[in-house]
Amino acid sequence: MSKPTPQEALVYLMVIMSAADRDMGDRELARIGAIIRTLPVFEGFPQARTLEVAQQCQQLLQEEAGLGGLLALIRSALSDELRETAYALAVEVAAADMSVKEEETRVLDIVRDQFAIDPLVVAAIESSAAIRHRRAA
């Protein structure tokens, strides 16, 4: 496995989150597209490569190392600050369909642990996502 660029690594993690519950829904895919189009971290990333990078991610998941190996690869491609960004993007994708399923929670737990995200940062990211994705009563 060759080391991905930080932007590719972020796309990999968003794809992993979207596929965690075995249902890559339209809301999650639309959210990934919006994130890539709008966030500064993806500045200069050619949007046309999104599908190619997502397919690379799926191939890597099928390899021997599986999820653990791919997360280690993603971690190695990211600075500490971008690991926090990666976790925030993963939470954003998980929350996009208005419900975080058990499988998604497990993947988020694994990511949080493997990326060594500070618990206070985790709480802030998760609270912020919950607030952003609330529906009006």
Cβ count near 72 (within 10 Å):
13
**pLDDT of 25:** 65
Burial-class residue 92 by CB neighbours within 10 Å (0-12, 13-18, 19+). buried
- For 39-67, write each residue's pLDDT tens digit: 999 999 999 999 899 989 988 888 877 88
User: Counting runs of H as helices and runs of E as strands, what totals does the chain give?
Assistant: 7, 0
Q: Which two tokens stand for residue 74?
A: 């993603």
What domains appear along the chain, each with residue ranges and CATH number?
6-132 (1.10.3680)
- For 75-127, write each residue's pLDDT tens digit: 999 999 999 999 999 999 888 877 777 888 899 999 999 999 999 999 999 99
**pLDDT of 62:** 85
**pLDDT of 65:** 78
Q: What span, in angstroms and rounded, lies between the C-alpha atoms of 4 and 11?
A: 10
**pLDDT of 23:** 67
* CB of 32 closer than 8 Å to CB of 16: no
